[in-house]
Amino acid sequence: PNPEMDQNQRASRAYQFHPARPAIIDLFNLYLGRSARQKSEDSIREPPNKTQKRVTALNRELPPRNEQFLLDFEQLQGQFPDQEQLRAVTESVLISLVIQCSGHAPRAEFLLFALRSLCGIGYIHWDTFLPSLLSSVSSAEMSVGQGSQSMVAVSSTTLSQSEMMPSSSTIPNSSNFQSSNPASPLPSVHGIGSPSQSATEPSSCATLSPVKSSDITCTGQQSTTRVNSSIRENAINSLRQLCCKIMLNGLESNLKPVTHADIFYHMLNWLVNWDQRQQGVDEFDGAKSWKPGKALIEWLHSCLDVIWLLVEDDKCRVPFYELLRSGLQFIENIPDDEALFTLILEIHRRRDMMAMHMQMLDQHLHCPTFGTHRFLSQVTANISGEAVTNMRYSPITYPSVLGEPLHGEDLAASIQRGSLDWERALRCIKHALRNTPSPDWWRRVLLVAPCYRLHAQGPTAGAVFTSEMICEATIDRIVELLKMTNSEINCWQKWLVFSDIFFFLMKSGCIDFVDFVDKLVSRLAEDDQHILRTNHVTWLLAQIIRIELVMNALNTDSRKVETTRKIVSFNKEDRSSDPNNPQSILLDFISSCQNLRIWSLNTSTREYLNNEQLQKGKQIDEWWRQVSKGERMMDYMNLDDRSIGMFWVVSYTMAQPACETVMNWLTSSGVTELLLQPNERLMVMREVSPLPISLLSGFSINLCMKLAYQMEDSMFSGQVVPNIAMVETYARLLLIVPHSLFRPHLSKTT
């Protein structure tokens, strides 16, 4: 035998015969109106001759007022030194009285009052009382089921602790509970129905089943069976109703998680098996249309109140997903009750929501920022025509009939817009646009737009994202950045990172430029007429306007005029509160830069350009003439904010001259002027410094590429060892625009 279990049983027997127990029982009986005289008169047998029976009104004494109870209890409390044992005995007596008096409404109300009063003075430990109460109630229900032959099947199938609960969350029976809870003041079944029970406490079985021995001998009669079952059902309904009220009171305190779980699973069992005890009667009677009574509906509602309180989102005493695991929504015989149906609907709603999220999150298994090493054996060609070996699985994979993964262009093209697979693809692309995976990853998962594909090019096996998916996700990211900008959130760095990816996608031919402009205009018109308040979109398009595919669309495409008009429609008068801020200067002049470039591309579209913006370009030329005239070299280390902003603008209109000045700076020894006296100057040679990232970050990508090409020629092909400043500047360029310079860098170094 388990020594700990033996110790608990000895402690329970000690509480059963504790000297304070009779005094506590007498005190409660006094307030419950259950005096010894009343019990003796109630227990008198009926006379043999029923005609001699008289109806008499007993002279019963009224119980004291409830307000006096706490004073009397505190007086009783002072008579016993061991307060912890007294508390345990009090809890044991209260549990027995709850089971005995649950069917008597006034007495049940007093017990609730007594519990609240004792809890108010800290004399009830809910974490020991509530599990003990639930254990005793389960034992009492089992004894009720075993009290009648017709209820044996019910008690064995529905009130059994081992079958009420799933194995992972089984409610402990009374003996197991005692072994796992040494603080419990109760014997294995708290003395209920035991022959050794005190004479002052009538058996709970007798209380719950007030059926005389003469009636039990007539179990073969259907009417008697129905009456007996009805009485037992009413008794259990009342007991559960009272228990739920006690649970609601207990949940107002801070209980332990294990107590919350114990309450939750008991309530859940009652709901799942709400109609099981009726099956025996239904099968015996052949009744097919039994409806739950008022008492059953009342405890059902109270039970639901307890469950809603347990899974309340603010408190989260029990996670709601425990309801999803419970299988409550799959019960076969749902009662015609709106409250229970509401809970079941909520479970289904959250289950569907969770399933949707799990399906959506499936793409994270192959997310671009997660280096899952999953390789394919075949050799495929990427969008640049290069052979790629040991390529990872696509971000979206599908099992075929034989279980092997299916992926590739045909599969990507078969995904319908608006479908779940389409949403999964967009989530993955948006995640990549925000978190910038390596350019090599992009090249492995993209498809060239159909309008840019050569007819001789075969299907791509490893790609999964079509140009339509890329286009939609890119527009979503633009709208997202515009909203952040309008909210006065400093997201310039996010714009810079996105422009690099956007340039890469457009140059790779993964986005149909004409289709992109059409959809962007429609999207900005649909979302909000005022969402486009700045020139960020114009700046974004100015970054890609020198790409060959874009120039062809604006010069030779049949829709070039319409496309040009739409591009010009993005121009805004971007006047910032800080006119000397480099970013503000760039956005102020970027419309002029764009108009000048379009003007040089095609004469047929010049009439749609803004003349004011074209004239504004003269300011750029004038500034450049002023800073580049003479023999003095620009000191890129000491440029003021306005000069930085204007040099950024020049990088969009005169990239080649700007590139030459930067290369002259990096290849020179560096010269500076020191003013000693008003009429004296001293020329000092110094070592050149690399261009700061704050200056490089605003360069057009076109200028960055020109600089990178010339630096590579000087570093890798020249005869002279490059200085540290050039190498450092080149490394900084790779960091600023990795997507645009990644492949050229690898081509040069290999």
Residue 82 forms part of a structural domain:
yes
> CB neighbours (10 Å) of residue 66?
13
Task: Read off the amino acid at residue 272.
Answer: V
* CA-closest candidate to residue 336, choices 307, 306, 304, 297: 297
Q: Is 665 left (phi over 0), alpha (psi -120 to 50) or beta?
A: alpha
Last residue of some domain: 308, 323, 357?
A: 357
In this prediction, residue 650 carries a pLDDT of 92
More confident residue, 103 or 624: 624
pLDDT band at 108 (very low <50, low <70, confident <90, very high): confident
In this prediction, residue 536 carries a pLDDT of 92
Asked if residue 597 lies in contact with residue 551, where contact means CB atoms within 8 angstroms, the answer is no
In this prediction, residue 614 carries a pLDDT of 82
The model's pLDDT over 453-497, given as tens digits with 9 standing for 90+, comes to 876 666 665 567 889 999 999 999 999 999 998 888 888 999 999
Q: Is the pLDDT of residue 404 over 50?
A: no
Buried b (16+ CB within 10 A) or exposed e, 151-177: beebbebbbbbeebbeeeeebbbbbeb
In this prediction, residue 742 carries a pLDDT of 65
More confident residue, 613 or 719: 613
> CB neighbours (10 Å) of residue 52?
8
Residue 331 forms part of a structural domain:
yes
Q: 591: burial class by Cβ within 10 Å (0-12, 13-18, 19+)?
A: buried
In this prediction, residue 744 carries a pLDDT of 59
The model's pLDDT over 129-178, given as tens digits with 9 standing for 90+, comes to 899 999 888 888 877 665 543 433 333 333 333 333 333 333 333 333 33
In this prediction, residue 23 carries a pLDDT of 79
Q: Is the pLDDT of residue 595 over 60?
A: yes
Last residue of some domain: 301, 331, 357?
A: 357
The single residue listed with the structure tokens 């402690």 is 11
Residue 665 forms part of a structural domain:
yes
User: Which residues are registered as beta bridge partners of 375?
Assistant: 392
Last residue of some domain: 314, 339, 357?
A: 357
The C-alpha angle with vertex 100 and arms to 95 and 101, in degrees rounded to 5, equals 100
Residue 555 forms part of a structural domain:
no
d(CA 447, CA 431): 18
In this prediction, residue 221 carries a pLDDT of 55
Mean per-residue pLDDT over the chain, rounded: 72
Q: Which two tokens stand for residue 139?
A: 């034992």
In this prediction, residue 188 carries a pLDDT of 35
In this prediction, residue 185 carries a pLDDT of 35
CA atoms within a 13 Å half-sphere pointing along the CA-CB vector of 649: 29
Phi, psi (degrees; rounded to nearest 5) at 266: -65, -45
pTM exceeds 0.85 for this model: no
In this prediction, residue 171 carries a pLDDT of 36
Asked if residue 99 lies in contact with residue 204, where contact means CB atoms within 8 angstroms, the answer is yes
Q: Is the pLDDT of residue 187 over 50?
A: no
- For the ranges 222-226, 415-419, 519-523, 599-603, the maximum mean pLDDT occurs at 519-523
In this prediction, residue 253 carries a pLDDT of 86
More confident residue, 303 or 607: 303
In this prediction, residue 204 carries a pLDDT of 39
Asked if residue 703 lies in contact with residue 651, where contact means CB atoms within 8 angstroms, the answer is yes
More confident residue, 285 or 492: 492
In this prediction, residue 463 carries a pLDDT of 63
In this prediction, residue 695 carries a pLDDT of 92
In this prediction, residue 12 carries a pLDDT of 53
d(CA 412, CA 426): 12
d(CA 80, CA 8): 22
Least confident of 31-35, 79-83, 118-122, 147-151: 147-151
Residue 494 forms part of a structural domain:
no
pLDDT band at 448 (very low <50, low <70, confident <90, very high): confident
Task: Read off the amino acid at residue 202.
Answer: P
In this prediction, residue 90 carries a pLDDT of 84
Asked if residue 115 lies in contact with residue 246, where contact means CB atoms within 8 angstroms, the answer is yes
Q: Please compute the mean of the pLDDT values over residues 26-52 and round it to a whole number.
A: 57
pLDDT band at 450 (very low <50, low <70, confident <90, very high): confident
d(CA 675, CA 349): 77
Q: Please compute the mean of the pLDDT values over residues 405-424 and round it to a whole number.
A: 74
Q: Which two tokens stand for residue 535?
A: 């020139």
Task: Kindly report the three-state secondary structure assignment for every residue of 313-325.
Answer: CCCCCCCCHHHHH
- 99, 292, 407 from 295: Cα distances, Å: 16, 8, 60
In this prediction, residue 637 carries a pLDDT of 80
The model's pLDDT over 628-659, given as tens digits with 9 standing for 90+, comes to 876 666 778 888 888 899 999 999 989 999 99
- For the ranges 37-41, 82-86, 117-121, the maximum mean pLDDT occurs at 117-121
In this prediction, residue 380 carries a pLDDT of 40
Least confident of 18-22, 108-112, 557-561: 18-22
Q: Is the pLDDT of residue 317 over 60?
A: yes
pLDDT band at 180 (very low <50, low <70, confident <90, very high): very low
In this prediction, residue 395 carries a pLDDT of 46
In this prediction, residue 749 carries a pLDDT of 56
The model's pLDDT over 462-471, given as tens digits with 9 standing for 90+, comes to 567 889 999 9
Q: Please compute the mean of the pLDDT values over residues 596-618 and round it to a whole number.
A: 81
Residue-range definition of the domain harbouring residue 27: 3-44+62-357
Q: Which two tokens stand for residue 651?
A: 């990088």
In this prediction, residue 223 carries a pLDDT of 58
- Tell me what percent of the residues of the chain surpass a pLDDT of 90: 14
pLDDT band at 228 (very low <50, low <70, confident <90, very high): low
- For the ranges 8-12, 98-102, 489-493, 699-703, the maximum mean pLDDT occurs at 699-703
Q: At what angle do helices 611-628 and 641-653 cross, to 10 degrees?
A: 120
* CA-closest candidate to residue 181, choices 189, 192, 190, 172: 172
Q: Is the pLDDT of residue 76 over 70?
A: yes
Q: Please compute the mean of the pLDDT values over residues 390-397 and round it to a whole number.
A: 45
In this prediction, residue 197 carries a pLDDT of 37
Residue 448 forms part of a structural domain:
no
* Number of domains forming the structure of the chain: 2
Residue 459 forms part of a structural domain:
no
In this prediction, residue 225 carries a pLDDT of 59
d(CA 520, CA 258): 55
Q: Is the pLDDT of residue 57 over 90?
A: no
d(CA 60, CA 35): 9
Q: Is the pLDDT of residue 673 over 90?
A: no
Q: Is the pLDDT of residue 15 over 60?
A: no
- Tell me what percent of the residues of the chain surpass a pLDDT of 70: 66
Least confident of 206-210, 628-632, 709-713: 206-210
The C-alpha angle with vertex 111 and arms to 109 and 115, in degrees rounded to 5, equals 120
Residue 49 forms part of a structural domain:
no
Q: 114: burial class by Cβ within 10 Å (0-12, 13-18, 19+)?
A: buried
Least confident of 3-7, 539-543, 603-607, 720-724: 3-7
In this prediction, residue 347 carries a pLDDT of 84
> CB neighbours (10 Å) of residue 84?
10
Task: Read off the amino acid at residue 4.
Answer: E
- 14, 501, 512, 590, 649 from 518: Cα distances, Å: 86, 20, 10, 21, 27
pLDDT band at 374 (very low <50, low <70, confident <90, very high): very low
In this prediction, residue 676 carries a pLDDT of 66
Q: Which two tokens stand for residue 678?
A: 């008003």
